[in-house]
Amino acid sequence: MIVQYRKAGMNEQQRPVSRRGLLKTAAAAVATAPIQRVRTVDKPTLGETNAEFRRFSGATIFALYQELKTKREGPAALKTERAAKKKRVAEWIRQRRPGFSLRDRQLFEAGWTVMRSARTGEGILSWRRLRIATPAELGVPPYTASPEEMASTVKKAARLYGAASAGIAPMNENYVSLKQAGKDIVFEPADLPAVTAQRLVIPKKMKWVVAIAIPMDLDLIARAPTALCGGATTLGYSHCAFAVATLAEFIRGLGYQAIPSVNDLAQNVPFALDAGLGELSRLNRLITPHFGPAVRLAKVFTDMPMTCDKPIDFGAVEFCKRCKRCAQACPAGALSLDDQPGFQVRGPWNNPGHKAWFEDCYKCYRYWQQVTTECSICFAACPYTQASRSFQGMDDPFGAGRQPDPEAWWSQDPPV
């Protein structure tokens, strides 16, 4: 967390707890929360649906913000905000502000390199084979094995390509968005996936989804909300694009069809929940047993028949009910402080019909504009992230509430 960027005027629940309180909470968290036994369960621990649940429009806060900003704050608000952000970026670079200097900023921007070159259905995220030879071209039959071995093979490859964890979930069309970049996403009884001017066609035979979690650099996450921290986020997305593109090509090389996807096409979290990668948390994001919420998620749709994994329970939801540290740390007041999750959404960026601790993405994204980069304070504040850092020999987690020196990162030897 970074105290100097907090805004005044928070209510008592939103204000960060005292240093002693943070130490006590962190100690308790590291001692109890992350080492709960991981067990498989029939359904995810949070996220049950009701009659309102259906395919999401796909309207994220990134698509909605301009419209909402103008509606809420007037026609000139967006232009004013952008100008102020551009001015802050330049001023902070000239001032060599820790965490926002030129090298910090460009580390953040360069992390996008692979992801920004990727487009749905095109380039490395192509829906068709890129260069790998098919079994037919090699003169051999497709790879076949038991569904269990097929799943093991794919998950082993995913780990090689950079995933911290991988799991297999059944296709659930309700998790797939209705539209992507103005194109309708449809399921049809087709042999091959197709990208046209008006539609994205997913073959109905693609009944399996490989969900993966890519870890982010915990030492950079601890420096939230600086541009240095943003480097962990942007590189995480690029690693996702590389991992799913490579994994999809591997699956094609075995004789099957595959569609790689990062944040596009569908919601990542419910597929990751069904695949057993973690639990839904107060952040309304996935918490994993080994990296907490400090992961980026991606997936591959495929017709390769595999045994599906089951959801897991390692105590995260029950811990989130008591903890609330992420919500207390959030400078924008965007996270829920409710004791229990519910079905009441906070805006059109939330998909209704499932139980969660819903966040106010408008407040969150508006704060991003103020700090000129992504935030991730909630990720850094999470006891599961603190514990992961401790287990990996990084800064003492009992320093919770204190942001490590951004400048010191540049003089550290990176982990092997």
What pLDDT score was predicted for residue 114?
A: 93
**Structural domain for 360, as ranges:** 3-405
Q: Is residue 414 part of a domain?
A: no
Q: Is residue 412 part of a domain?
A: no
What pLDDT score was predicted for residue 395?
A: 52
Q: Is residue 411 part of a domain?
A: no
Q: Is residue 362 part of a domain?
A: yes
Average pLDDT by consecutive 10-residue portion of the chain (416 residues)? 36 40 47 71 94 89 92 94 95 94 93 90 93 94 96 96 97 96 95 96 98 96 94 96 97 97 96 98 96 97 98 96 96 97 95 96 96 94 89 56 84 75
Which letter does DSSP use for residue 94 in this model?
H
What pLDDT score was predicted for residue 390?
A: 78
Structurally, the chain folds into a number of domains equal to 1
Task: Measure the CA dihedral 397/400/403/407, to 10°.
Answer: -20
Q: Is residue 223 part of a domain?
A: yes
Q: Is residue 293 part of a domain?
A: yes
Q: Is 415 exposed, middle or buried (CB count within 10 Å of its CB: 0-12, 13-18, 19+)?
A: exposed
Q: Is residue 416 part of a domain?
A: no
Residue positions counted in the chain: 416
Contact 365, 322 (CB under 8 A): no
Q: Is residue 102 part of a domain?
A: yes
Query: What whole-number distance in Å separates Cα of residue 209 and Cα of residue 191?
Result: 17
